[in-house]
Each structure stands twice: as C-alpha cells, then as structure tokens.
C-alpha cells in the first residue's frame, strides 16, 4: 500500500495530534500542537489510506531547524515508518537550504537515539534533568546534524 506524506494544517491536525498524545508520557496540549503549524514551523503527517501513522514538526530559524517532535503510532512501530519520516524531514530541510538540524531526545529513548545516529546526528551535550518522568526528571541528549 502507498504511504503518503502531506502537510499538517490547522484544518487537518487532529489525527496527528492524537498520535502525539499517545506517543508521550507528557504530551503537548492541543493549543501548543496547533501553534506549531504556522509561521516558521513545518509539519507533515504520514498516512496510509485514511490512517495517520506518524508525523513530525520542525521549527526553522534562518538556516537552522530544530526537530520539535516526531512520533509513530504505537501499533505502527517497528516497521520502518520513523525512518521514512526522518528521510522526508531531512529532504524538507535540504529544500529549505538548512545548514544544521538540532534535536533533543530522552536519554532512555535508545531506539530514537540509534535512529538519529544512523542519520548522521552527533551527540553535542547532555542536558541534566530536562524531561519530566513519573519518578522525577530525566536527562536529554542534544544532537546535531550538519548538512
């Protein structure tokens, strides 16, 4: 079946927002998610038939982009969809003449960290006690890819 990547807009974001809510222990509010769809942001969702399986949101400032969020629906994980999303995200960055891509990832998210390393991201630093957890706080890895 064909997978389609299409822009997330103010009129079609609810399915991607639902995926975001289920991807994170502490998800964004609907207002925060919707605010990330205009201006310097660019966002895409991955669909198969009518099902939204994943999404990403990037924030562009001059010639840098921060990957603000990326997620794949729980039932769709382990099938290469995150790789498809990252490939599309990097293509979008190239089209925008981006020089550097930044991201943060939970220290415990080894699968995501491995994916980012495979795409050429490098560990820049570890931010202590950045993400909330049920037991307290968790470190964030700051990663960068030079294009």
What residues contact 20, with CB distance under 8 A and at least 6 apart? Answer: 27, 28, 33, 55, 69, 71
pLDDT (0 to 100) of residue 2: 87
Q: Check residue 92 and give its pLDDT.
A: 98
Whether 116 is a known active-site residue: answer yes
Catalytic residue among 64, 104, 113, 138: 104
Residues of the chain under the 50 pLDDT cut: none
**What pLDDT, on a 0 to 100 scale, did the predictor assign at position 115?**
97
Residue-wise pLDDT tens digits, 108-128: 999 999 999 999 999 999 999
Q: Where are the beta strands (DSSP E) in the chain?
A: 3-7, 41-48, 51-61, 64-72, 100-106, 122-133, 136-146
26 is catalytic: no
Check 13, 55, 56, 116 and give the catalytic one: 116
């Amino acid at each position: 079946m064909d997978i389609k990547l299409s822009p997330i807009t103010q009129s079609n974001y609810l399915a991607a927002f639902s995926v975001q809510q289920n991807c994170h222990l502490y998800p964004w509010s609907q207002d925060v998610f919707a605010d990330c769809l205009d201006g310097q942001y660019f966002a895409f969702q991955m669909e198969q038939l009518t099902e939204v399986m994943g999404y990403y949101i990037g924030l562009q400032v001059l010639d840098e982009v921060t990957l603000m969020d990326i997620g794949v629906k729980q039932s769709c994980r382990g099938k290469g969809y995150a790789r498809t999303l990252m490939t599309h995200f990097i293509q979008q960055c190239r089209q925008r003449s981006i020089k550097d891509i930044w991201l943060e990832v939970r220290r415990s998210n080894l699968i995501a960290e491995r994916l980012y390393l495979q795409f050429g991201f490098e560990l820049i630093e570890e931010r202590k006690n950045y993400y909330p957890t049920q037991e307290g706080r968790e470190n964030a890895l700051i990663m960068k890819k030079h294009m």
